[in-house]
Structure 1
Amino acid sequence: MGKQSTEMLKGVLEGIVLAILAGRAAYGYEITSDLRDRGFADIAEGTIYALLVRIELRGLVDVEKVPSEKGPPRKVYSLNAAGRDYLEEFWKTWGFLKRQLDQLHEGGQ
């Protein structure tokens, strides 16, 4: 992924992760794997873990520690009501931006 793509992705990565969590609860490595499966191969695990800390501190997710067979308990993240509201606003904003960018791309005003 080029620098421009990486910078653009940073702006929407939070919404992407929240959308993944809207589908199911997951821990950091699962989220990173899901992103890679979706073609976001260059995203570092550290980026996702830092993002998860931020959204946890902002109260957008609930966190449950579950035992792990390989080491310390895993933090499993699930979207809560505040996170769902935030994600809904993200999709509205995304829709607006997409419409505007599509118009510009097509040469419209």
Structure 2
Amino acid sequence: MANSTQILKGLLEGCILKIVSTHETYGYEICEQLTVYGFQEVSEGSVYPILIRLEKKKLLYSNMIKSPFGPMRKYYYLTKEGNTELEDFISSWDKIKKNIDNVLEG
């Protein structure tokens, strides 16, 4: 049986797209938001490669912005393609969740 880490990796992309869709944000803030939502086991070492992958897929774009607290930060924004991917993720998740709930509720 697949462990929860493998399952989580597949779902984090959609969760990150959702977080970025709400406002411009940077990597560390995304990590903090994931922790607030209950993903305590997700590290920065997991999030940053996902951000790079999403940017390469043109689902996100980034901009370096001066931070009032130190070095410049890389802020992420959702592209039109990213918004479409997010909508697809939500639709797929709804279907999968419904099916799993049906099985678990027997």
1:70 corresponds in structure 2 to: 70
- 1:56-85 CA deviation, whole Å, 9 max, x = no partner? 0000012111013422x2110011110000
Gaps of 5+ in 1: none
2:86 equivalent to 1:92: no
Q: Which runs of 4+ in 1 moved over 4 A?
A: none
Residue identity in the other structure for 2:66: P
Instruction: State the Cα RMSD in Å.
Output: 1.3
* Greater strand content: 2
Taking the aligned partners of 2:45 and 2:101, their CA distance within structure 1 comes to 33
Structure 2 unpaired stretches of 5+: none
State the TM-score, normalizing by the size of structure 1: 0.89
Q: CA deviation at 1:5?
A: 2.7
**What corresponds to 2:11 in structure 1?**
12
Shift of 1:6: 2.3
* Cα distance in 1, alignment partners of residues 33 and 5 from structure 2: 17
Q: C-alpha distance in 2, partners of 1:92/1:39?
A: 22
The one-letter code of the counterpart of 1:70 is G
SS at match of 2:42: coil
Give the superposition deviation at 1:4: 3.0
Q: CA deviation at 1:7?
A: 2.4
Equivalent position amino acid for 2:39 in 1: F
**TM-score, normalization: structure 2?**
0.91
CA shift at 1:39, angstroms?
1.2
How far apart, in 1, do the equivalents of 2:91 and 2:13 lie? 15
What is the deviation of 1:8? 1.9
Distance 1:12 1:67 in 2: 31
Identical aligned residues as a percent: 38
Q: Which amino acid aligns with 2:29?
A: E
Alignment of 1:1-109 (within 5 A): 4-68=3-67, 69-71=69-71, 73-107=72-106
* Residue identity opposite 1:103 in structure 2: N
Matched pairs, number? 104
